[in-house]
Amino acid sequence: MVIDKLKIVLITYNRAESFASTLEQIFSENSPIKDFDITILNNASTDGTDEIILKYQEKFSNLKHIRNPINIGGNANICRAYELCAASGKEYGWVICDDDIFDFANWAEVEKCIEEKNDIICVSDYSIPAGKKDNKAYQMFQLGFVPASIFKISNIDDKVIFTMYESTFAMFQQLVPVAKVINENGKIKVLSKPIVFNGMHFENKRKNYSFARGATKALITERKKKSNWILGFSNIITLLDDKELIKECMDVSIPYVDIYGSWRNFYRSINKDFFNRKDFNYFLEIYKRLRKRRKIFFWVYKIIHRIPYAENLFAYINSTRIYCIIKLHNLKCGFKVF
């Protein structure tokens, strides 16, 4: 039975209200996972989270509570959750968060995928367009959402855990086992209908989502202060062996509505955040993952945005999808701008 094969770890830190809502969903009468082996990994919350957990433990003997003595950071807590799954003796693990929305109507497909021995079952699909569920770049992008992955624990070895902790600076440590599965041609199945939805897409989402919540700002490294989504993502995808897939991951993620929304916004952002501030090392970490045509168009942007009304020109190019031909060192690069 699947109940004997799946370990669930719920990570939380100082989100008592949304955490309580999450527990209500998990332990509702119709929840298919309410009797599963569930551990709450509490990152030293100080807002009444412990009291909420005690109330649920009185009703559900399968609910365990591990409280970190200090806040080890959100990224390290994710790594710790994967460790707990790896040490559970179960076949599969699932790390879920304290602020997302669940719909278990399609749980039967999850059980089917577990019986079929898939390496990763992707239970969320909000960033995957129709017809792209088998696309590895879109899978990599979607699985950056922590609760999206139900993973086979045999893929979580010491090398994976080590690299996850090493990757906490990039904020995408959960993609380390995904990269391993892709590199080894493992099986990733995206559900026909999702189980979990990103709470950030809902109006009542709380304001503070930083993985540095609770940390002393004076002790945050310079890199961490300057880090952003694309810098972290462009670092973690270097774990992929397929260089073309790395470029494709950049292609699918950057114009996504919740990231930059358009290539124009992306060029403007990296120009402002890194290039103009002479943070060239950080700039190059992003720039060198781009396709050649994207690199060329960054310099086109650098030139024309200095011209009066150039931003309007850029918007026009974007909206009409002009097919541009640029000749550089006798190399013709044909591409759609954005």
Task: Report residue 286 as tokens.
Answer: 């992003």
- Chain centroid, CA 216 distance in Å: 24
Is the confidence at residue 144, as pLDDT, over 60?
Answer: yes
| 208 in a structural domain | no
Could you give phi then psi for residue 295, rounded to 5 degrees? -65, -45
Q: Answer yes or no: is 206 within a domain.
A: no
Hey, what's the torsion of the CAs at 126, 131, 137, 138, to 10 degrees? 0
Span 213-229, average pLDDT:
73
Whole-number pLDDT of residue 337? 43
Asked if pLDDT for residue 64 goes beyond 50, the answer is yes
> Is 56 in the same domain as 174?
yes
Residues 116 and 40 in one domain: yes
Q: Are residues 196 and 234 in the same domain?
A: no
Facing residues of 67 across strands? 42
Residue after which a domain boundary falls, among 173, 201, 229: 201
225 pLDDT band (50/70/90 cuts)?
confident
In a domain, 129, yes or no: yes
Question: pLDDT higher for 78 or 222?
Answer: 78
Distance CA 279, CA 99 (A): 34
Q: Are residues 68 and 120 both part of a single domain?
A: yes
Note whether residue 53 is domain-resident.
yes
CATH number at residue 96: 3.90.550.10
Q: Which domain holds residue 260?
A: 217-336
pLDDT band of residue 313 (cuts 50, 70, 90) is low
The pLDDT of residue 310 = 57
Residue at 152 is within a domain: yes
Q: Tell whether the model's pLDDT for residue 110 goes beyond 50.
A: yes
Task: Tell me if 209 is assigned to some domain.
Answer: no
Say if residue 281 is in the same domain as residue 245.
Answer: yes
Based on the fold, state whether residues 160 and 276 are members of the same structural domain. no
212: pLDDT strictly greater than 60: no
Measured between alpha carbons, how far is 156 from 131 in angstroms, rounded to an integer?
Answer: 29
Return the closest-CA partner of residue 128 out of 248, 290, 254, 253. 253
Same domain, 177 and 271: no
The answer to the question of residue 311 being in a domain is yes
> What is the predicted pLDDT for the residue at 303?
86
More confident residue, 222 or 26: 26
175 and 250 assigned to the same domain: no
For range 9-15, the mean pLDDT: 96
Between 162 and 312, name the one with better pLDDT: 162
178 and 239 in a single domain? The answer is: no
- Domain closes at, from 144, 173, 201: 201
Report the pLDDT value the prediction gives residue 219, as an integer from 0 to 100: 74
Is residue 257 predicted with pLDDT exceeding 80? yes
- pLDDT averaged over every residue in the chain: 88
pLDDT at 220: 76
Q: How many domains does the chain have?
A: 2
* Mean pLDDT value across residues 6-17: 96
Per-residue confidence (pLDDT) for residue 309, from 0 to 100: 56
Task: State residue 139's pLDDT score.
Answer: 98
User: 186-190, 225-229, 331-335 — which one is most confidently predicted on average?
Assistant: 186-190
Residue 330 above 80 pLDDT? no
Residue ending a domain, choose from 169, 201, 233: 201
Is residue 196 a contact partner of residue 123, using CB atoms and an 8 Å limit?
yes
Share of the chain above pLDDT 70, in %: 85
**83 & 158 share domain:** yes
Residue 226 domain-assigned (yes or no): yes
Other C-beta atoms within 10 Å of 322: how many? Answer: 11
pTM equals 0.87
The two structure tokens encoding residue 170: 């990039």
Specify whether the CB–CB gap between 79 and 165 falls below 8 A.
Answer: yes
Q: Name the pLDDT band for 221 (thresholds 50, 70, 90).
A: confident
On whether both 272 and 157 belong to a single domain, the answer is: no
Q: Has residue 132 got a pLDDT over 60?
A: yes
Per-residue pLDDT reduced to its tens digit, 28-48: 999 999 999 999 999 999 999
Nearest alpha-carbon partner for 42 in 159, 220, 214: 214
* 135 and 227 fall within a common domain: no
Bridge partner list, 196:
102
